Chain A
Amino acid sequence: MSTTSSTNILTVRNLYGRIEGQQVVEDVSFDVPDTGVTALLGRNGVGKTSTIKSILGLIDRTGEVTLAGRRVDRLPTHKVVQLGVGYVPEDREVFGKLSVAENLKLAERSTHPNRALVEELFPDLVQRHAQLAGTLSGGQQQMVSLARALLNQNRLLLVDEPTKGLSPKIVTEVSQALLAAAKTVPILLVEQNLQVIRQLADRVVVLSGGRVVFTGEAAELLDDQERIQRYLGVHSGSAEVNA
C-alpha cells in the first residue's frame, strides 16, 4: 500500500463508522492516488457504502481522513464537500420534486460551474431541464446525479454504485461519462459490475468483514480467479459481485 501523501489525494487510516450505535466500518485504511479510478470492492454488506459515507461524515466516524494533505475527519459534511469532493450516492438521491435544472443549480458550488461538460456528456438533460427529477427514468436520474458532481471543479469524486439497476445501454453511457471524468479528477468508485470495474478501475481496494483485505492493481485482482472467488464470491466471468 502506498503511503506517499504527495501522490495520494485521499488517505484513510483506522476509519471506524457507526450507524445507530452499530459498527459498520471497522479499522479501514487505504489510499486513493491523485489520478485514475480506484475501485472499492467487496461482497454485499461489507461496508463499502458506509466507508464512503464515513469519509464524507454522513455517518458517525472516528479515524483519520486526509484530503490533499488536510485532515477532514473532524469537519462537517458540507465543509468536506466544499474542499472539492463530489459525491454520487447509491440510489441517485435526486430531489424528485425539483426540476432537473433546479437539481443542477442546487449543486453548483462556484460562480463558474462546468455546464459545458455536463451538456456534452448528458445532452438528454438539457432537453429535460424543466422536467421534475422524480418523473425521470432510473438512468436519467443517474445522469442528474453524476451531473451534479461533474458541475464543480473537484479534487476527488466519490461514486457509489453508479450502474446499479440500469439497463446495459445506460451502463455503457454511465461508464463512458466516468471514463471522461477520470481524465481530469481521481475517482473512488464503489461498483458491483466486474465488467465496469475492468473497464474503469486502475486500482482496487477490497473490503471483507468491514476491513481491507486486498489493495493493488485492478488487473492483479481481476486476473486472479481464486482471489475473486474468495473476496467477491464470484468468478471473473460473472458480471456482478454477489453476497
Chain B
Amino acid sequence: MSTIVLLLITGLGLGALYFLVASGLSLIYGLMGVLNFAHGSFLTIGAFIGWEVARRLSDGSWWALVAAMLTGAVVGALVAAATEFFLIRRLYNRHIEQVLVTVGLALASVALFEGIWGTDPTYVTSPSWLGQTTEILGARIPNNRFMLILVAVLVLVAIVLFLKFTRYGLIIRAGVENRLMVTALGIDVRRAFTLVFAIGGAAAGLGGVLASIYYGYVSAHIGGSLLIFAFIVTVIGGLGSLAGAAVASVLVAVLQQFANFYLGGTGDLAVVLALAAVLLLRPRGLMGAKA
C-alpha cells in the first residue's frame, strides 16, 4: 500500500511538471497551429536565470525560491513572447518553416546555455523542508512533490480563470475554434498569439525552476528531456485542450512511475506504447476536438 501511495504522489508531482510544459504547448497549438519545438528552451532559461537569482539572494531560503519562481516565469514569458514576435509571427501557416525555426532555436539555445553555464549539471540548493519527507499511509513522500502539485494546480486554476473571465481569454477560446472568424469580427488576433506564447512561456519558465528542485540540478538539456514527454502528453490529451493536457499529464506520469517500479524500469516504453494506443484508437486524443 505504501509503495502505491508513494508511486501515485510521485507520479502526480512529475505530472505537475509535465503539465506546466504541456499547457503552453497545447494552448499554442490550439490557437495558432504551431508545434513549438523551442518550448523546452523557455523552461531551461527560466530554470537557469531563476537559479542565478536564488543563489545571489539567499541560496536555500524560501523567499529566494519564491523570487526564483517569479523570475523563471517572467523570463520564460519574455523569451517566449520575443520568439513569437520576431520569429513565429512571420511564419503562420508555414508549418515546415515553423518546425525548422523552432527546432533550430532549440538546438542553438542548448549550445548557448552550455556555453554560458557549462555542460555539467549545476546542483541547486532548495529550502531544507523540500528535501525532507512526510509520511502518508506508511509511505515517505518527498516534500517537494507536494509543492509541485500545489503550484501546478494554482497555474491550472489561474489559466482557467483567465480563459473564462477575461476578454483575451474569450478571444483565445474563440480563436482555438476558428481563428479567421475572430479576425472577421475586427479583432487583432496577433496580440492573442503573443499573449498565449507569453503564458505558455511563463508556465514553462516556472516549470523550469520546479524541475530543478525535482531533479536537484539544472542543465542545458533539462528542457529538452521534459519537452519530449510534454509533447506526448499534449497528443494524448488532445492538441489544443488544456483540460486534456492536465488529465494526460497525470495519467502519463503515474503510468511511467508504476511501470518503472513494477515492470523493471520500462516507464518510458510504457508511455510510448500508451501514445501509440491513443493514436491508433482515438487519434484526436482523450479530450481533443473532432477533426
Q: Which residues of B contact A98 (CB under 8 A)?
A: 170, 173-174, 177
Q: Which residues of B contact A228 (CB under 8 A)?
A: none
> Interface with A: B103-111, B186-194, B224-232, which one?
B186-194
Interface range, A side: 20 to 34
Q: Is A76 an interface residue (CB 8 A)?
A: yes
Q: Which residues of B contact A97 (CB under 8 A)?
A: 173, 177
Q: Is A89 an interface residue (CB 8 A)?
A: yes
Contact status of A106 and B184, CB under 8 A, knowing A78-B189, A97-B173, A98-B173: no
Other-chain residue from A77, A106, A152 in contact with B174 (beta carbon distance below 8 A): A106
Task: Encode contact with B along A68-105: 1 for CB under 8 Å, 0 otherwise.
Answer: 00000000111001100001010001011110001001
Q: Which residues of B contact A56 (CB under 8 A)?
A: 184
Q: Is B181 an interface residue (CB 8 A)?
A: yes
Contact status of A107 and B177, CB under 8 A, knowing A98-B170, A102-B170: no
Q: Is B75 an interface residue (CB 8 A)?
A: no
Q: Is B58 an interface residue (CB 8 A)?
A: no
Q: Which residues of B contact A89 (CB under 8 A)?
A: 181, 184
Q: Which residues of B contact A155 (CB under 8 A)?
A: none
B186 and A109 within 8 A (CB) = yes
Q: Which residues of A contact B177 (CB under 8 A)?
A: 95-98
Q: Is B132 an interface residue (CB 8 A)?
A: no
Task: Encode contact with A along B163-179: 1 for CB under 8 Å, 0 otherwise.
Answer: 00000001101100110
Q: Which residues of B contact A96 (CB under 8 A)?
A: 177
**B196-214 interface with A by 8 A CB criterion:** none
Q: Is A136 an interface residue (CB 8 A)?
A: no
Q: Which residues of B contact A222 (CB under 8 A)?
A: none
Q: Which residues of B contact A95 (CB under 8 A)?
A: 173-174, 177-178, 181
Bound: A152/B185 CA distance, A:
10
Q: Is A212 an interface residue (CB 8 A)?
A: no
Contact status of A58 and B180, CB under 8 A, knowing A78-B188, A81-B186, A107-B185: yes
Contact status of A77 and B170, CB under 8 A, knowing A93-B178, A95-B177, A97-B177: no
Q: Is A148 an interface residue (CB 8 A)?
A: yes
Bound: A105/B180 CA distance, A:
17
Bound: A97/B177 CA distance, A:
8
**Min CB gap A161→B, angstroms:** 15
Q: Which residues of A contact B173 (CB under 8 A)?
A: 95, 97-98, 102
Bound: A95/B189 CA distance, A:
15
Q: Which residues of B contact A102 (CB under 8 A)?
A: 170, 173-174
Bound: A106/B174 CA distance, A:
8
Bound: A82/B189 CA distance, A:
13
* Residue of A93, A96, A106 with most chain B CB atoms under a 10 A cut-off: A106
Q: Which residues of B contact A106 (CB under 8 A)?
A: 170-171, 174, 182, 185, 187
Q: Which residues of A contact B180 (CB under 8 A)?
A: 58, 77
Bound: A107/B178 CA distance, A:
14
Q: Is B183 an interface residue (CB 8 A)?
A: yes
Bound: A58/B186 CA distance, A:
12
Contact status of A76 and B183, CB under 8 A, knowing A95-B174, A96-B177, A98-B170: yes
**Min CB gap A132→B, angstroms:** 11
**Min CB gap A52→B, angstroms:** 10
**B91-124 interface with A by 8 A CB criterion:** none
Which residue on A lies nearest to B191, using beta carbons? A78
Bound: A107/B182 CA distance, A:
8
Q: Which residues of A contact B188 (CB under 8 A)?
A: 76, 78
Q: Which residues of B contact A78 (CB under 8 A)?
A: 183-189
A148 and B185 within 8 A (CB) = yes
**A104-147 interface with B by 8 A CB criterion:** 105-107, 109
Bound: A106/B187 CA distance, A:
9
Bound: A96/B289 CA distance, A:
11
Interface residues of A (CB under 8 A from B): 56, 58, 76-78, 81-82, 87, 89, 93, 95-98, 102, 105-107, 109, 148, 152
Interface residues of B (CB under 8 A from A): 170-171, 173-174, 177-178, 180-189
| Nearest 8 CB-CB pairings of A with B | A81-B186, A77-B183, A82-B186, A95-B174, A93-B181, A78-B183, A87-B184, A78-B188
A-B contact pairs, 27 of them (CB 8 A): A56-B184, A77-B183, A78-B185, A78-B186, A78-B187, A81-B184, A82-B186, A87-B184, A89-B181, A93-B178, A93-B181, A95-B173, A95-B174, A95-B177, A95-B181, A96-B177, A97-B173, A97-B177, A98-B170, A98-B173, A98-B177, A102-B173, A106-B185, A107-B185, A109-B186, A148-B185, A152-B186
